[in-house]
Amino acid sequence: MEVSKILHMNSGVGDKSYAKNSLLQRKAMSKAWPIIKEAIEDYLCTENTPITTLSIADLGCSSGPNTLSILSDLITQFHKIIQLHHNKPIQYQIFFNDLPSNDFNFLFRSLSKFLEDLKNQIGTDFGTCFFNGVPGSFYGRLFPNKSLHFVHSSYTLHWLSKVSEGMEMVNKGNIFINRTSPKNVIEGYYKQFQKDFSLFLKCRGEEIGMIREEKVDRFNVPNFMPSSEEVKTEVLKEGSFIVNRVEVARIDWNSYNDEFNQSNVFVDSSYCYAKCIRSVFEPLMIPHFGEAIVEELFHKFGKIVKDEMSKKQCQETNITISLTKK
């Protein structure tokens, strides 16, 4: 059974449609709303520059009213907080994702009324919405790198990308896992979940823009490492001093395990070096990027340092200059 080709909720608005029979899922979203609201507030608190565009994706949106209901709540909440900090309306880039067999047409036919209701609810100055359908499995890449700001998915991740291999005649008398299912069936489904969920997280990790590119572009560290010749040239050009000596020394990033390690206990030099850099640069970065995101930034930096140190000898270059006043 190729799940990605046949799985979809009952379309339309008939008595057996998902649109008429998804109250349970809507209640689940309402239970999750306080957490979603908190996530929105946390995200906007890290934004120290005016927001012009927000890209929001609902993964596994289906075709009923629930995706529009949560989208309305999201835009309302974003608008409420943005109004407190910025005066200008923003643009919302909305992505509806589900498998290709989903009834996207029904969803798109509902958008005019959705916008009308939204304007009646929060006013006409909330901004502009651009809607996009994205057919495909969320157990794979759906968007370019760092193109999303906020991702929502509800009542979707319990669906696996496929039935675990070899289950056809093993789980006899059952179509679900239950207490009579053999141990190898339960383990098989669990392994498939691990594989799928890990892939979901990996893909979203690449697609979500943790820091907007323009924010990175506006941040520059006021730091320049001159060569020994550049230092000597400037001293001679200024003319007040005579250069006695210029010495270059190199310090290995792995030096945390040399004679300066008084405890005689081996330490992870990559971790120590990353902490050293953090102690210097963190005060510069927090005002620009926000405190909430810096922890994750330096966690990633630590991994990069460790990877670089495993491939080559990494060193800091230091210049010592001795001068005599003329």
- What's the CA angle centered on 43, arms 38 and 48, to 5 degrees? 135
d(CA 127, CA 120) in angstroms, rounded, equals 13
pTM: 0.68
Share of the chain above pLDDT 70, in %: 87
To the nearest whole number, what is the mean pLDDT of the chain? 82
Dihedral (CA of 224, 227, 231, 237) sign: negative
Please compute, for residue 11, the number of CA atoms within 13 A of its CA located in the half-sphere on the CB side.
14
Q: Which two tokens stand for residue 154?
A: 């509800």
Hey, CA dihedral for 100, 209, 294, 280, is it positive or negative?
A: positive
DSSP letter (8 states) at residue 164: P
pLDDT over 80 (residue 261):
no
DSSP collapsed to 3 states, 107-162: HHHCHHHHHHHHHHHHCCCCEEEEEEEEECCCCCCCCCCCCECEEECCCCCCCCCC
257 pLDDT band (50/70/90 cuts)?
low
**pLDDT tens for residues 208-241?**
876 666 667 677 777 777 788 888 888 888 888 8
Nearest Cα to Cα of residue 154 among 193, 98, 208, 107 = 98
- 146 pLDDT above the threshold of 60: yes
Furthest C-alpha separation in the chain: 97
Average pLDDT for 111-127: 90
Q: Is 325 helix (H, G, I), strand (E, B) or coil?
A: strand
Angle at 323 between CA 318 and CA 325, to 5 degrees: 155
**What pLDDT score does 40 carry?**
85
Q: Cα–Cα distances in Å, from 119 out to 28, 54, 124?
A: 26, 18, 5
191 close to 160: Cβ distance less than 8 angstroms: no
